[in-house]
Amino acid sequence: MDNPSASLIAIKTTESRARRDAWAWPVPLMIAAFVLLALITLTPDPVVGKMSPIQTAINNNTVTGAIMRFLGLAEARFGHIVALLALAVLTALGIYAWCVKLMRTERITLRSLLTVAGICCALLVLTPPLLSRDLFAVGFYGNISVFYHENPYLVTPQKFVGDPWLAFMSTNWKNTPMVYGPVVWLMSSAGALIFGRSIVANLVFLKVIMAGAHIANALLIWHILGRIAPERRQLGTLLYAWNPVVIMVGVGGGHNDIIMMTFVLFAFLLLLEERPMLGFASLTLAVLVKYVSLIFMAMYLFYILSQAVDWRQRLKQLARYGAVFLGICAVSFLPLWGGLSTFKAMIRSAGKINVLSSRWVLATILQAIFRHVFLLSEATAATLGSALAAVAMGILFVYIFFRILRRYPEREELGEAWALVIFAFLVTAGYILPWYLIWFMPLLPLMPWDRRSKVMLCLSMVAMYLALDLWP
């Protein structure tokens, strides 16, 4: 007679082996794509990996320089590098789509999800900043405070002529005071205090923080979905953790948007655990990374106040949460306070408009109409077109904002509401950069996995490659 226990063990062993076999090809191929991407960033021609001391050290080293020459990367030029970048990115995207499809029938452990994500992140931590030079500015802001004893909100990097950091920064950042919140300043200052003036050590330190934030976001998504949609837990975590665009742009590029979203996700988890005040404090820290988080905070407060029984209780709640917000902000800005001028650069940046935004498209069309149909002067047409486009897009966003608030009133739906509102904001905003889509990507897994979310995922991943900095 067969032993039931032995049969059960045999079945489980077979299932476990089959599960490993299903992931035997996509996982190594995904990692291989990131290995290729990391190697591309080390080429002396700073097309993908922005020029930094890292390239110089790698290519001048006897061993690593020989490896780069053997692979043909030491002499690679613009066209070859862009072709290799396309190969690495398309391979990673194809493997990512394969993995998402596998999740229909296969399962994977949290440990495996985080291990693969961690390896891909680690490969890009030790490389130059990927497709963006913003990280040099972030690193230097801490140097301004630590070594020059100046306020980065009040002075521009250009003041410190001769500092080695300036050789790697873009002209825009050289002439721009700090536009990020105090949390970013604290990170940058910590790097300067620990590693001194070493550019390489400071860059790696900041990218390690970004990689840690990416892993933390995956963990937060896992726990959030465990509460609101356990059936989507593994798929949702994979959608974010293995997303090659998020790893490439967020970790490889060293953009602090990924840290902002860590605080946003943590706030949602704390709300689900019925600790709303701590969640609000986490959202405040998100605002102190990037001020766009005020959108999430407004929706969070709307939910909190909607739970109050009357207006008196709502006013008390508003006073309590307002005191927490102002208290955390006061403590954070205290070492940097320079009056209202502290926010001057941030306010100026909020009024920007660029060619990637739908508002710019609308403004251009309106300017053409005013110029060629109504025969207004070029200056008047430009002013009217820009103003009307800003008003139209602003009204559209406000309409979508309140419509979503009414449609998703439940606590468990707040994550999905955040995803839809921030997506609407990105569509209607006047200034958008590819990595701003990181605001949306960690929230996408909190939405039902249907046609709408699939289309939004595809559009976001394509949009993140628009206007990437492929120049030195």
Q: What is the tens place of the pLDDT at every residue in 294-324?
A: 999 999 999 999 999 899 999 999 999 999 9
Does 163 fall in a domain?
no
Does 316 fall in a domain?
yes
pLDDT above 70: residue 3:
no
Domain residues for the domain of 455 are: 4-132+202-334+431-463
Does 141 fall in a domain?
no
pLDDT band at residue 466 using 50, 70 and 90 as cut-offs:
low
Does 389 fall in a domain?
no
What is the SS3 assignment for 460? helix
In this prediction the pTM is 0.93
Does 74 fall in a domain?
yes
Does 148 fall in a domain?
no
pLDDT band at residue 11 using 50, 70 and 90 as cut-offs:
very low
Q: In this predicted model, what pLDDT tens digit does every residue of 25-80 receive, in sequence order?
A: 999 999 999 999 999 999 988 878 888 888 888 888 888 889 889 888 888 888 88
CA angle 417, 422, 427 (to 5 degrees): 130
pLDDT above 80: residue 465:
no
Tell me what the mean pLDDT of segment 269-278 comes to: 97
Does 369 fall in a domain?
no
* Structural domains counted in the chain: 1
pLDDT above 80: residue 463:
no
pLDDT above 50: residue 243:
yes
For 104-139, letters b (16+ CB in 10 Å) and e give eeeebeeebbbebbbebbebbbbbbbbbbbbbbbbb
pLDDT above 50: residue 12:
no
Cα gap 203→343, rounded to integer Å: 26
What sign for the dihedral angle of Cα 73, 76, 81, 84?
Answer: negative
Q: What is the pLDDT of residue 468?
A: 58
Half-sphere exposure of 335 (CA within 13 A, CB side): 13
pLDDT above 50: residue 231:
yes
What is the SS3 assignment for 203? helix
Does 29 fall in a domain?
yes
Q: In this predicted model, what pLDDT tens digit does every residue of 363-422 receive, in sequence order?
A: 999 999 999 999 999 999 999 999 999 999 999 999 999 999 999 999 999 999 999 999
pLDDT averaged over the chain? 91
